Structure 1
Amino acid sequence: MKKIAVLTSGGDAPGMNPAIRAIVRRGIFQGMEIFGVRLGFEGLVRGDYFSMDLGSVGDIIHRGGTMLRSARCPQFREEESQQEALRQLRAAGIEGLIVIGGDGSFQGAAQLTKRGFPTIGIPGTIDNDIRGTEYTIGFDTAVNTVVEAIDKIRDTASSHERTYVIEVMGRDAGDIALWSGLCVGAESILIPEAPYDVEDVIARIDHGNRRGKRHSIIVVAEGVCSGMEIAKSLEARAGLETRVTVLGHLQRGGSPTAYDRMIASKMGAQAVDLLLEGEKEGMIGIQSGKLVHVSFDPTNKRQGLDLSVYHLARSLSI
């Protein structure tokens, strides 16, 4: 295999650039030609490819986002778009593809492998919700961003003796809320994977007030409900003066942490090596701290959240 391409798809995540850098430089080290695909599967269908050299990925290891840019491409679910992408790839002489993204991106990658085109996936999403891997590129950075923001909010919460509700990303997955909530000592953490009761939230705040706490932090994943809804319930039922902060897309940006740079670099290089070894499909993951190669999951189910961490957080926030 002499020519391969790389694309990033779906939501951007810190660490995608280090992964791109590793793919390009490992590929060139192995004597390959590397092509970048602009704007994900949309660019794949249009044939928007460009040749990459060592200088193409210089000075990007510390940058957030993705130099290849990213886009949603719903039309790639259609066979016509998939066939056009294959035609463009073959016309360019490209023999293998590396897809960096989340679950939706891997669905597209799996369709290419079904049609005989070698495609390897690298999990890049801040949600940490891909089956087959314990960590995804971008998750560690997102959690650190949230923790840093909440630590600053806590200063104001303490000064004004208020309850703050922090809404974080996580439509279907509560990993960001759970990890950040535990790390900042939140009184309550509301995640899609566990039921919640507003009365329990209130009871925890009251318990803290009785032992002298001057503020409370509630972390809620957006998939549970909005932070504003929680705040209104707390004010209506308990008369608590509450403020809401929605961190939003702040969580996707920023320089990737050392850990995200490390796993992105390892995964990028491994993806190139797998294609050279003749592998035709699958994803690189992390299990028990080691890189593994697993097939794309046809059931399209997310990685299960470790609820023992949730129970730990509840026991420590008494």
Structure 2
Amino acid sequence: MRLVTYRVDVEAEGRLGVLVDGLVIDVAKLGARAGVPLPSRMLDFIDLGPVAVAELKLLLDEAKGRWPVDGARPLASVKLLAPIPRPRKNVFGIGLNYIDHVAESAAALDTSADLPKKPVIFSKPPTSVIAPGEPIVHRADITQQLDWEIELGAIIGTTAQRVSREDALKHVFGYTTLIDMSARDCRRAGQWIYSKGQDSYCPMGPCIVTADEIPDPQTLDLWLTVNGVEKQRNNTSHMLFKVDELIADISQGITLEPGDIIATGTPEGVGAGRSPQEWVWPGDVIEGEVVGIGKLRHSIVAG
């Protein structure tokens, strides 16, 4: 299933929907018609665990296109928010997780040329998350080196504490597309959170594809363009640490909870690694996609 958070006007609260044949079906209203209580928010739905996914699938099959009168809207008529508009915790970011990106970062930044022996973990605050299509804010007084990174996002579905790699993917609810914006000149003594965690630096969406539809997250193409010019194209098979390894590693010391998000790293092709280096500026447009999940398109605006 492809789950979204949407609203019908600027004042409405975000509601949980499922995409079916170009329509957004309201999950809570679909459940109410069948006498099945289902939540109206994504995080509440994730909290219910696999039983909620199974119940929703059953309701969709039973409806067979006979949707609630006030619970089905054309996708073009609604505003999509980030699937999880306000994460409960910081997004877990993974740095240097594609081999060629390790090399380009070592050449352009102050990172090591040696392949990491363990995942490199940083974080992005909940306030960095923005919806599909919302502007990415360029603060010229803070950065002159705003950069791009296309990434697969993994959404945790059930609590993962000290899990093995073999069991790790059982804890995944689904996957989404992320763009990890980075102010390269805002790294402080090797710390990345201010560089990567500023407001609007985590575009997310347009949906979450449930894990049953992506049994192997290491087979996905991903790409990014700036003003229509391709900058990144790769496949998640080239991750240094695979999704199951990331979950197993983080969970040894930090309990992963339902709704937690892992941004799994970016391939080569970032602006910092180019010669000469390239940055984005107000007026530029970034597009990126994890194929099979969805595309994001964002303009850069002055802030």
TM-score (normalizing by structure 2): 0.30
Which structure would you say has the larger Rg? 1
Higher strand share: 2
Higher helix share: 1
TM-score (normalizing by structure 1): 0.29
